[in-house]
Amino acid sequence: MYIYLQNELIVTVKQGKLQGATETLYDGSTYYSFKGIPYAQAPVGQLRFKAPLPPQSWEGIRQATEYGSICAQYDSVFKLFKGSEDCLFLNVFTKPRHGRTPVMVFIHGGTYLTGSGNDDLYGPKFIVQQDVVLVTLNYRLDVLGFLSVDTPDVPGNAGMKDQVAALKWIKENIAKFGGDPDNITIFGESSGACSVSHHILSPMTRGLFHRVIAQSCTSIHDSAIGEDSKSRAFRVGKLLGRDTKNTTDLLEFLRSLPAANLTNLTSATSTDDEQYRGLPERFLPVVEKKFDNVEAFLSKNPLDILQSKEIRKVPLMLGYNSAEGIIIIQDRLGKLYIYNNNPSYDVPREIAEKLTQEEMNDMGKRIRNFYIGDREYTRNDYEVIVSMLSDEHLVYDMHRFTDLYSKHNSPIYMYRFSFESDLNFVKKLASMGLDLKGACHGDDVFYMFSSNFTKDAYESQDKLKDYVSKVTKLWTDFAKTSNPTPDNSSGPRWPVYTTKNKEFLDINVQSTAGSFAEKQRVEFWDSLYCEAGLPCIKNN
């Protein structure tokens, strides 16, 4: 598996030799890291917005001891552009081992606008301790990754095709790192979870993975599929200085611009309705038009595939955090006047497309009445607003996807993540002094990945080490066996989901199994989707 040359770690992949590094886990044992491995060539210049190109070979030994450039993105915290178009790199982390080891491939979140596979957020030390090979990766983001003009040249989904290219590279080369190419689990959080559930539906990824873990999103969420993408592309051009209706002219112009100009355009290209309805995610995977000699990542609506016999049967683990809506509570509290005066904005896009404005207004009032009764929201309602936002944007569709997918008879394990500790880093940032209970959107990743932001807390509190061990064991046991609790030695058995009982595991200090999480709330939202004539749990 490994070759040692002058005391340096060398691995030979199809494209050439890689020199990795030896590093140390928290338990003092050794692991190997191989960073910044090019899995594809980034299309640039006149190839911008196209699918990735095959990786190039290299001569000699390539240093794989530093992360490659992150993909071009706008940092909303520091208000600056970061990254590069030449960014299609992945990273492999593994313990010294003999034989084939289960592989876990993580696809990062960040609303398809930000993020990378680097260790500022997604360090390998927690997961690698559980004896799996971990791979993290970059993929194109924002306009550069998700522009679509409905042509064979730029049909959309370039960022998703990057992910496919990475999975192909992993399938072909991971055995060189001790990984088992016939035992690959893909997992992701937020938009990364949208991505991994899209991969279940895409014909491009057949045979490239064997299990899926989706954390806080699926392919049927409003924030998982873009709409009106061609019109949005022309709005990008107009905003940047080229007001044209000609696709060729538009693409020529957009390909001439610096990459930095093609980031941070979500709000500026949103319609008036989009400013308040749904989450602020616009450059997204799309349902591609079919063209001759062009392989589509996704050519049918995810809901249609989910209800058809086309869908692949893979073991699936998925769930959500107990208070997802904390992530946007401050934004909502700052806009209460708008939502109180126009409650129709709380009708999800998928339903809104089926209703008149009057029907939307009525439904919006019913949603508000369900949570607080016949009055307007106030800032003191922040806890119930968190529940409403959680249900509207994430919880209901997690349940709906689970129920619809379950008819395909693959083993499914559903969870609710409820841990609260100093590892809940996102909650600390988002709550801004509010006394909020539960786990915020994004908090779960800090129980799976070593991070610069939680390093001090983890190293100073023994209980956090226990929490991390518990969570990573569930995730890696599923990757190893298709069952997150193959034995009862360390906690309660996690029951398989059935449509009858809707079993789940509440993951906490003391985890507990139950049936139909958030039953009353989910049934309320389900009644709205059924009423609109959309696929729903009741009619499944």
For 358-378, the pLDDT digits (tens) are 999 999 999 999 999 999 999
Residue range of the domain that includes 535: 321-334+379-540
Q: What is the pLDDT of residue 78?
A: 85
Number of domains in the chain: 1
pLDDT tens, residue by residue, 176-197: 999 999 999 999 999 999 999 9
3-state helix, strand, coil in the chain (%, to 5): 35, 20, 45
Q: What is the pLDDT of residue 505?
A: 98
Q: Among 148, 190, 387, 406, which one carries the catalytic annotation? A: 190
Helix, strand or coil, per DSSP, at residue 401: helix
Q: What is the pLDDT of residue 7?
A: 54
pLDDT tens, residue by residue, 377-424: 999 999 999 999 999 999 999 999 999 999 887 899 999 999 999 999
The reply to whether 440 falls in a domain is: yes
- What integer is the mean pLDDT of 165-174? 98
489 pLDDT above the threshold of 70: no
The reply to whether 233 falls in a domain is: no
Q: What is the pLDDT of residue 1?
A: 54
How far is the C-alpha of 117 from the C-alpha of 481, rounded, in Å?
A: 25
pLDDT tens, residue by residue, 448-485: 999 999 999 999 999 999 999 999 999 999 999 999 99
Output phi, psi for 353, to 5 deg.
-65, -15
The DSSP result for 208-261, as a single string, is S-SEEEEES--TTSGGGS--SHHHHHHHHHHHHT---S-HHHHHHHHHTS-GGG
Q: What is the pLDDT of residue 3?
A: 53
Which of 433, 454, 459, 455 is CA-nearest to residue 442? 454
Helix, strand or coil, per DSSP, at residue 449: coil
pLDDT above 70 covers what percent of the chain? 98
Q: Which long-range contacts (CB under 8 A, 24 or more apart) does 288-293 make?
A: 288/148, 288/155, 288/156, 288/157, 289/150, 289/155, 291/151, 291/152, 291/155, 292/152, 293/152
Output phi, psi for 23, to 5 deg.
-130, 175
Q: Which long-range contacts (CB under 8 A, 24 or more apart) does 512-518 make?
A: 517/399, 517/414, 517/416, 518/391, 518/395, 518/399, 518/416
Q: What is the pLDDT of residue 363?
A: 98
Tokens of 400: 């709906």
The reply to whether 185 falls in a domain is: no
Tokens of 209: 């993975």
Output phi, psi for 37, to 5 deg.
-85, 125
Average pLDDT, the chain: 95
In the chain, the largest separation of any two C-alpha atoms, in whole Å, equals: 75
Q: Are 9 and 65 in contact (CB under 8 A)?
A: no
The reply to whether 429 falls in a domain is: yes
Q: Are 538 and 404 in contact (CB under 8 A)?
A: no
Write down the residue that tokens 């904390």 correspond to: 326
Write down the residue that tokens 């959080």 correspond to: 189
Which uninterrupted H or E stretch holds 204? none
Q: Among 85, 274, 288, 324, which one carries the catalytic annotation? A: 324
Q: Are 158 and 44 in contact (CB under 8 A)?
A: no
Cα Rg, the chain, nearest whole Å: 23
> With bands split at pLDDT 50, 70 and 90, how would you rate the model's confidence at 491?
confident
The reply to whether 518 falls in a domain is: yes
287 pLDDT above the threshold of 70: yes
The reply to whether 51 falls in a domain is: no
Q: How far separated are the first and last CA of the chain, in Å rounded?
A: 48
Q: Are 114 and 73 in contact (CB under 8 A)?
A: yes
Label residue 409 left, alpha or beta by phi (over 0 means left) and psi (-120 to 50 means alpha): left
85 pLDDT above the threshold of 70: yes
The reply to whether 358 falls in a domain is: no
Assess whether 324 carries a catalytic annotation: yes
- What integer is the mean pLDDT of 31-43? 97
The reply to whether 461 falls in a domain is: yes
How far is the C-alpha of 30 from the C-alpha of 95, rounded, in Å?
A: 6
> With bands split at pLDDT 50, 70 and 90, how would you rate the model's confidence at 488?
low
Which of 238, 57, 252 is CA-nearest to residue 153? 252
